[in-house]
C-alpha cells in the first residue's frame, strides 16, 4: 500500500483525556492518499480532521495505528524535508520579512538559504507578491499574508503538502481566486495534497476525492470521488455536475 | 521607589490617548512644582524640612564637585549587577520555560529571591563580600526576578501556531527557541529589563547604606544624614531618582525601537512552576526539593567562598545561634520583641496602602480622568528609589511610628494602584454594557461588574505588596525610628553580633515568603471557587 510519496493512515485512533472522560477524537480511521493525489477533508467541527492533520504532520502522536508519509514516520518525513504545510492563520513571524518568512523551513531544516534565493524569488512572483519581498507581515493584508504562507509551504519543493483551512479567514471572492491559484500551483508540482476545509465548494473544486468526516467519535463517513476534468475553470462552479457533487457531499455531511 | 518587583512597567500606553496624557501630566507636574516652591519658600512644612525646588537646585550646584564620584560609584555597582543579574535571569527564564520540572524545583529559590527584603541581607553581603561585590549582588538580585519571570511569560505566551510551523518541519527544542521563542519573548524581556534597570540602581544604593564605602549616592546620603541640611538630602534623593528614571527611559526607548508596537506588557509577579503534574509522590518530592534548594544554595555559597564560620552562618549555624547556644534565650527574646514591633506595622501599612490603592483605582473607574492624569505621576514614582527619600520623610514626619506607616503605605500604594487600575481597565466592555443597558448607576456597575472582575488583580497587588511592605517597615525602622527588626539588624551590625544579623535576615525572608504563600493559598482558593484565573 505504501506509495512513494503517498499518505497512509492505518486504523489510527487518537483519544484525549478530558475531565474524567475520554474524548475519542479519531476512531479507527484508515485512509490512503496515493502519490500525486489531491484529497480534501471536510466535516463538522470536532470531527477530528485537524487532529488527523496534526498526526500526519508529526505534531501529535496517535494513541494507536500507523501513519506513513512517503513510507516514513511523520517526524522522519518532516526532518527529511518532504513535507510542506500552511495553516489557517498564516502563522507568519511578525519580525521576519516576506522573504525571511518564506525561507523559514530552510532555516529549520538547516539548508543553505543562498541555494534557494532563485526559488524564493520565483515563489514570490508565483503568489503575486513581487515588490513586497522586504515587507513585514504587519504591513500586508490578510490575503497577502495567506499567500506568503502558501509560498512558505512550497519553498522546499514538498512531495507531500498539508493545507489546514488555508483560506478559512479570507472572504469568498479572494477565496475563489486563491482556489484557482492553488490548483495551478498543484498541477505544476503534483505534490500529494491533503486539504482540510469547511467549504464544500472549495473541496469539490480542488480535490480528486472528498473525505467526509463525522464526529463523536471522529471517523470517516463517506468518500466522494470528484471526476471533474482538469484544469477546472471558474465556469465549473456553475455546472449542474458540480452542484450534484456538492449535494452529495452535503448529504454525506448530514449523515446520509 | 523603584520597582524591585514587576509591576509598574506594566501599564502600556495606548497611542490614541498618549498625547493628551502627556499634556495633563506636564500640567500636573507644573502645578506640583509651583505648590512645592511656595511651600518651601515660606517654610510651611515641618519648619523648613521641605526646601523649595530652587533651594535644592542651588544646593545641588554648590555640591556639584561631590556628585560625579558618587554617581559613578553607584552606576558601576548598578550596571555590573544589572548585567550579571539579567544574564542569569534570562538563562534561568529560558530553562524554566523549557523544563516544567526545573521550574517547579526552582520555585522555592525564586519565591525567596522575590520576597527577600534587600535591606535585610545587605549587612550579610557586606560581611561576606568586600568592595563593590555587595552592591553588585544586591543590584543583581533586584533585577533577577523581574527579568526571569518576564522571560518565562514571554516564552510561554509564544503563539502556538508559529511553534507548529517550525515543528511541522521537524524543528526540535533548540530550533523552537532559536527561531521563534526567544525572538517572540523579546518584547517581554525588554519590558523586564526596563523595570529591572531602576531596581538595579536601588539595589546598589541599599547596599551602600550599610556598606561603609566612601562613594556612592547611598553612602553620600547616609553621610549627610547627620547634618541639618534638607536641601542637600533632597538633592541626593532627586539625583538617585533621576538616575533610576534615565535607566528606565533608556530601556523604554530601546523597547519602543525594537518592538515597533506599544502593546501593554505585564510583567508577571508569579514564579513559574505552580502547576503540578504527575503522581503525588513526585509532587511531594519536587516540592520538598524546591524548599530545600534555597538553603542548599546558601550553604554551598558559603562553602565555596570559604568565609570564616564565625562571620558566615550556615543554616545549621543560625539554628544553633537561635536554639542551642547559651545565649539562645536572650537572642530569642530580642528577636520576638522586634517581631512584635515590626509585624503589626507591616500588616497595618500594607492594608492601608492596598485599601488606599483600591479606593483610588475604583474612583478612577467612575472618573477615568483620574487615571489619565495620575498614571504618569504614578509611573514616575514607580521608578523612584523611594528608599533613598526615606531620610527626607524623616525630616518631614519626625521619628515616630507615623513615619513607618507613611513609608510602608507609599512603597505598597503605587504598585498596587498600577496593578488594580490596569485590572479594572481590562474589565470587559461587554459586561459593563449589559448592566448599563439596564440603567445601572456607576456605583452599581462597580458593585456588580468591576469589583468582582478585578479580584484577580487585587490578589496580584497583594502578592506584590507583601515583600515591599516588609522592606518599607524595616528601612523606616533602620533609618528613622530605631525599633523592630530594622533596628535589631542595624544594632547587631554595630555590635558585630553575626549570629543575630544572619538570624534577622533569615527570619525576615521567611516571614516574607510565608505571607506570600498565605496570599497565594487564599488566592487560589477564592479564584478557583469563582472560576477565575490568577492575574500574572
The per-residue DSSP string of B326-372 comes to TTHHHHHHHHHHHHHHHHHHHHHHHHHHHHHHHHHHHHHHHSHHHHH
Q: Does B159 touch chain A (CB under 8 A)?
A: yes
Asked if B175's CB is within 8 angstroms of A83's CB, the reply is no
Instruction: Report chain B's mean pLDDT, rounded to a whole number.
Output: 81
Task: Kindly state the cell numbers that stand for B115.
Answer: 520576597
Paired sense of beta strands A7-17 and A160-164, if any = unpaired
Give B380's pLDDT tier (boundaries 50, 70, 90): low
Asked if A75's CB is within 8 angstroms of B170's CB, the reply is yes
Q: How far is it, in rounded angstroms, from Cα A67 to Cα A162?
A: 14
Largest interatomic CA distance in chain A: 54
Query: Which domains are seen in chain B, by residue range?
Result: 7-43+66-270+297-529 (1.10.3720.10)
pLDDT, one tens digit per residue, over B92-124 is: 999 998 888 898 888 888 888 888 888 888 888
pLDDT, one tens digit per residue, over B504-518 is: 989 998 998 898 889
Q: How far is it, in rounded angstroms, from Cα A221 to Cα A211?
A: 8
Task: Kindly state the cell numbers that stand for B523.
Answer: 488566592
Q: Does B183 touch chain A (CB under 8 A)?
A: yes
State the alpha helices, DSSP H only, in A110-215.
Answer: 117-126, 142-154, 172-189, 200-206
Query: Which domains are seen in chain A, by residue range?
Result: 31-59+76-253 (3.40.50.300)
Q: Closest Cα of chain B to A218: distance in Å? A: 22
Give B282's pLDDT tier (boundaries 50, 70, 90): confident
Distances (CA, A) of A146 to A83, A84, A103, B91, B105: 18, 14, 15, 35, 42
Cell 468582582: give the residue: B452
Asked if B167's CB is within 8 angstroms of A87's CB, the reply is no
Distances (CA, A) of B334 to B175, B339, B485: 57, 9, 9
Look at residue B149 in the predicted model and tell me its pLDDT: 87
The secondary structure of residue B311, as a DSSP letter, is T
Look at residue B399 in the predicted model and tell me its pLDDT: 80
Return the percentage of chain B with pLDDT > 90, whole number.
13
Task: Kindly state the cell numbers that stand for B43.
Answer: 517654610
Cell 525594537: give the residue: B258
Look at residue B263 in the predicted model and tell me its pLDDT: 38
Task: Kindly state the cell numbers that stand for B333.
Answer: 527574646
How long a stretch of residues is chain A?
Answer: 256
Top pLDDT among B529 and A6 is at A6
Give B264's pLDDT tier (boundaries 50, 70, 90): very low
Q: How far is it, in rounded angstroms, from Cα B239 to Cα B229?
A: 16
Measured between beta carbons, the chain A residues lying within 8 angstroms of B168 are: 57-59, 78, 83, 85, 162
Q: Does B165 touch chain A (CB under 8 A)?
A: yes
Cell 511651600: give the residue: B39
Measured between beta carbons, the chain A residues lying within 8 angstroms of B158 are: none
The secondary structure of residue A72, as a DSSP letter, is B
| B171 closest CB neighbour out of A93, A108, A156 | A108
3-state secondary structure of A224: strand
3-state secondary structure of A40: strand
| B161 closest CB neighbour out of A87, A105, A108 | A87
Asked if A162's CB is within 8 angstroms of B168's CB, the reply is yes
Q: Does A137 touch chain B (CB under 8 A)?
A: no
pLDDT, one tens digit per residue, over B20-64 is: 556 766 787 788 888 888 888 877 766 666 788 888 888 888 888
Look at residue B95 in the predicted model and tell me its pLDDT: 94
Contacting residues for A80 by C-beta, under 8 A, at least 6 apart: A72, B170
CB A68 within 8 A of CB A7: yes
A151: pLDDT strictly greater than 50: yes
B89: pLDDT strictly greater than 90: yes
Which of A56, A59, A91 has the highest number of chain B CBs within 10 A, making it the mutation to test binding with B? A91
Asked if B161's CB is within 8 angstroms of A83's CB, the reply is no
Look at residue B412 in the predicted model and tell me its pLDDT: 83
> Which region, left, alpha or beta, applies to residue A128 given φ > 0 means left and ψ of -120 to 50 means alpha?
left
Cell 507609599: give the residue: B410
Distances (CA, A) of B442 to A154, A256, B369, B427: 56, 55, 15, 14
Q: Residue A56 half-sphere exposure, CB side, CA atoms within 13 Å?
A: 34
- The question of ipTM being above 0.90 is answered as no
Distances (CA, A) of B343 to B213, B270, B405, B473, B487: 31, 24, 12, 9, 13
B13: pLDDT strictly greater than 50: no
CB A157 within 8 A of CB A189: yes
pLDDT, one tens digit per residue, over B329-370 is: 899 999 999 999 999 999 999 999 999 888 888 887 777 776
Q: What are the φ/ψ torsions at residue B225 (nearest 5 degrees)?
A: -65, -35
Amino acid at each position: 500500500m505504501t506509495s512513494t510519496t503517498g499518505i497512509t493512515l492505518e486504523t489510527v485512533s487518537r483519544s484525549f483525556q478530558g475531565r474524567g472522560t475520554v474524548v475519542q477524537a479519531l476512531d479507527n480511521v484508515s485512509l490512503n492518499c496515493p502519490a500525486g493525489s489531491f484529497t480534501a477533508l471536510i466535516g463538522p467541527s470536532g470531527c477530528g480532521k485537524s487532529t488527523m492533520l496534526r498526526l500526519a504532520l508529526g505534531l501529535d502522536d496517535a494513541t494507536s495505528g500507523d501513519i506513513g508519509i512517503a513510507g516514513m514516520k511523520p517526524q522522519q518525513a518532516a526532518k527529511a524535508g518532504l513535507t510542506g504545510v500552511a495553516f489557517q492563520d498564516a502563522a507568519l513571524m511578525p519580525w521576519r520579512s516576506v522573504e525571511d518568512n518564506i525561507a523559514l523551513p530552510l532555516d529549520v531544516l538547516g539548508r543553505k538559504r543562498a541555494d534557494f534565493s532563485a526559488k524564493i524569488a520565483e515563489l514570490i512572483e508565483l503568489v503575486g507578491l513581487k515588490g513586497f519581498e522586504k515587507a513585514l507581515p504587519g504591513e500586508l493584508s490578510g490575503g497577502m499574508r495567506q499567500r506568503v504562507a502558501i509560498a512558505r509551504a512550497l519553498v522546499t519543493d514538498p512531495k507531500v503538502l498539508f493545507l489546514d483551512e488555508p483560506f478559512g479567514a479570507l472572504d469568498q471572492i479572494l477565496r475563489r481566486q486563491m482556489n484557482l491559484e492553488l490548483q495551478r500551483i498543484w498541477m505544476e508540482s503534483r505534490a500529494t495534497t491533503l486539504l482540510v476545509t469547511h467549504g464544500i465548494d472549495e473541496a469539490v473544486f480542488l480535490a480528486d476525492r472528498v473525505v467526509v468526516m463525522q464526529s463523536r467519535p471522529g471517523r470517516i463517513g463517506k468518500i466522494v470521488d470528484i471526476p471533474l476534468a482538469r484544469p477546472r475553470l471558474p465556469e465549473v462552479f456553475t455546472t449542474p455536475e458540480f452542484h450534484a457533487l456538492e449535494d452529495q457531499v452535503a448529504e454525506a455531511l448530514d449523515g446520509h | 521607589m523603584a520597582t524591585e518587583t514587576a509591576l509598574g512597567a506594566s501599564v502600556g500606553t495606548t497611542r490614541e490617548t498618549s498625547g493628551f496624557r502627556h499634556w495633563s501630566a506636564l500640567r500636573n507636574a507644573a502645578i506640583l512644582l509651583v505648590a512645592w516652591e511656595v511651600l518651601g519658600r515660606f517654610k510651611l512644612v515641618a519648619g523648613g524640612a521641605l526646601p523649595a525646588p530652587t533651594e535644592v537646585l542651588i544646593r545641588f550646584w554648590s555640591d556639584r564637585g561631590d556628585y560625579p564620584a558618587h554617581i559613578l560609584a553607584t552606576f558601576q555597582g548598578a550596571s555590573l549587577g544589572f548585567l550579571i543579574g539579567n544574564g542569569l535571569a534570562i538563562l534561568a527564564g529560558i530553562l524554566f520555560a523549557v523544563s516544567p520540572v526545573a521550574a517547579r524545583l526552582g520555585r522555592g529559590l525564586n519565591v525567596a529571591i522575590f520576597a527577600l527584603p534587600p535591606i535585610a541581607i545587605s549587612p550579610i553581603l557586606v560581611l561576606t563580600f568586600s568592595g563593590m561585590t555587595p552592591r553588585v549582588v544586591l543590584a543583581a538580585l533586584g533585577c533577577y526576578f523581574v527579568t526571569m519571570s518576564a522571560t518565562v511569560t514571554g516564552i510561554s505566551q509564544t503563539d502556538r501556531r508559529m511553534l507548529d510551523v517550525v515543528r511541522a518541519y521537524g524543528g526540535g527544542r533548540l530550533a523552537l527557541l532559536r527561531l521563534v521563542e526567544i525572538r517572540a519573548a523579546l518584547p517581554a524581556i525588554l519590558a523586564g529589563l526596563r523595570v529591572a534597570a531602576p531596581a538595579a540602581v536601588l539595589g546598589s544604593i541599599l547596599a551602600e547604606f550599610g556598606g561603609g564605602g566612601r562613594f556612592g549616592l547611598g553612602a553620600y546620603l547616609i553621610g549627610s544624614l547627620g547634618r541639618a541640611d534638607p536641601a542637600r538630602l533632597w538633592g541626593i534623593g532627586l539625583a538617585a531618582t533621576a538616575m533610576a528614571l534615565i535607566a528606565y527611559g533608556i530601556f523604554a526607548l530601546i523597547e519602543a525601537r525594537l518592538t515597533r508596537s506599544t502593546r501593554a506588557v505585564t510583567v508577571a509577579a508569579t514564579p513559574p512552576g505552580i502547576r503540578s503534574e504527575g503522581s503525588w509522590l513526585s509532587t511531594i518530592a519536587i516540592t520538598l526539593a524546591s524548599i530545600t534548594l534555597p538553603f542548599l544554595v546558601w550553604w554551598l555559597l558559603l562553602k565555596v567562598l570559604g568565609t570564616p564560620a564565625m562571620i558566615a552562618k550556615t543554616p545549621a549555624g543560625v539554628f544553633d545561634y537561635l536554639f542551642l547556644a547559651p545565649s539562645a534565650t536572650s537572642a530569642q527574646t530580642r528577636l520576638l520583641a522586634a517581631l512584635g514591633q515590626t509585624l503589626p506595622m507591616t500588616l497595618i501599612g500594607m492594608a492601608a496602602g492596598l485599601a488606599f490603592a483600591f479606593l483610588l483605582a475604583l474612583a478612577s473607574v467612575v472618573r477615568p480622568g483620574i487615571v489619565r492624569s495620575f498614571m504618569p505621576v504614578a509611573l514616575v514614582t514607580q521608578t523612584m528609589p523611594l528608599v533613598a527619600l526615606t531620610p527626607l520623610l524623616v525630616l518631614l514626619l519626625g521619628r515616630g511610628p507615623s513615619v513607618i506607616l507613611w513609608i510602608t503605605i507609599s512603597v505598597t500604594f503605587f504598585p498596587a494602584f498600577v496593578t488594580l487600575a490596569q485590572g479594572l481597565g481590562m474589565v470587559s466592555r461587554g459586561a459593563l454594557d449589559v448592566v448599563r443597558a439596564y440603567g445601572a448607576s456607576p456605583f452599581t456597575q462597580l458593585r456588580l461588574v468591576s469589583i468582582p472582575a478585578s479580584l484577580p488583580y487585587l490578589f496580584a497587588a497583594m502578592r506584590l505588596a507583601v515583600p515591599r511592605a516588609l522592606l518599607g517597615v524595616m528601612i523606616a525602622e533602620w533609618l528613622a525610628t530605631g525599633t523592630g527588626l530594622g533596628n535589631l539588624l542595624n544594632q547587631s551590625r554595630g555590635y558585630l553580633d553575626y549570629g543575630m544579623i544572619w538570624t534577622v535576615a533569615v527570619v525576615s525572608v521567611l516571614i516574607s515568603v510565608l505571607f506570600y504563600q498565605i496570599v497565594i493559598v487564599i488566592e487560589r482558593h477564592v479564584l478557583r471557587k469563582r472560576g477565575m484565573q490568577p492575574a500574572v
